Amino acid sequence: MKNEFGIDQRGVNFGDNMRRRRKEMGFNSKDFASFVKVSIAYVGLIERGERTPSFDTMLRICDFLNEDVNTMLSPDKTSSFQSTPTGRKKFASKLEQKQEAISSIVKSLDEQEVNYILKNLKNYTHLTQALKGEEVTEQD
């Protein structure tokens, strides 16, 4: 459905919801683009409603954001992450899986690279604990 300016409103909704959800999760455009395998410029185009991603890209984005496509295409929808304890736990589980995958790669890196990644893993661990409603613990 196109609005009066000839823009597909579903694309605008998707972009608005993508931006909102990305920010809820605490990701900047650069990191988000890297995780979903698109350019930073393309993230901006989607978020402004100037481009609608392909279905495959849309699925990657929705998977990363832990949202279904219908929610992302709908106006004024509250994310499942934000609205339910189950959604938060599901998202926390996905974060743990990503953390484990990253941890396995760390073994092949030099000390400086390892230290950088460990700092970020600590941040993910804190986020995961908070999403599960657990007390956030400090790690060395």
**pLDDT tens-digit map of 52-77:** 899 899 999 998 988 888 888 877 55
Q: What is the model's pTM?
A: 0.51
Look-up of token digits 């908070």: 130
Q: 45: closest CA among 35, 37, 53, 56?
A: 53
Q: Containing H/E element for 23? A: helix 9-24
- The two tokens of residue 10 are 């579903």
Domain spans, the chain: 9-79, 84-131
DSSP state, residue 109: S
User: pLDDT class for 32, splitting at 50, 70, 90?
Assistant: very high
For the chain, state the CA radius of gyration.
17
Alpha-carbon gap, residue 138 to 140, rounded angstroms: 7
| pLDDT of 105 strictly over 80 | no
- With a cut of 50, say whether residue 36 has pLDDT above it: yes
d(CA 54, CA 32) in angstroms, rounded, equals 17
Most confident of 43-47, 77-81, 85-89, 107-111: 43-47
Q: CATH homologous superfamily of domain 9-79?
A: lambda repressor-like DNA-binding domains (1.10.260.40)
Alpha helices in 25-84 (DSSP H): 29-36, 40-47, 55-65, 69-73, 80-83
Residue-wise pLDDT tens digits, 86-98: 666 776 777 787 7
Contacts of 128 (CB under 8 A, 6+ apart): 92, 95, 96, 99
112: amino acid identity, one letter: Q
